[in-house]
């Protein structure tokens, strides 16, 4: 719920939000990714990045 709300607040549209995984319709630019990271940290979540995808823990 928190992840969905933060993505909506940032104007991003998502296809899937599951435990540890989010699929976003848009291509996220560096600045948007940083905004997502900050929003999640403020909510007590962490953005994890691996070489294939970006994960949320």
Question: What pairs with residue 5 in β-bridges?
Answer: none
Question: What pairs with residue 48 in β-bridges?
Answer: 55
Q: Are 36 and 28 in contact (CB under 8 A)?
A: yes
Confidence of residue 20 (pLDDT cuts 50, 70, 90): confident
pLDDT of residue 2: 87
pLDDT of residue 55: 54
Question: Residue 51 pLDDT > 60, yes or no?
Answer: no
Q: Are 13 and 26 in contact (CB under 8 A)?
A: yes
- Average pLDDT of the residues in 10-35: 86
In total, the chain counts a number of residues equal to: 57
- Average pLDDT of the residues in 37-52: 81
Look-up of token digits 């823990």: 57
């Amino acid at each position: 719920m928190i992840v969905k709300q933060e993505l909506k607040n940032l104007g991003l549209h998502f296809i899937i939000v599951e435990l540890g995984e989010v699929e976003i319709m848009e291509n996220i630019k560096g600045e948007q990714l940083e905004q997502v990271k900050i929003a999640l940290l403020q909510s007590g979540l962490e953005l994890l990045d691996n070489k294939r995808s970006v994960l949320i823990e």
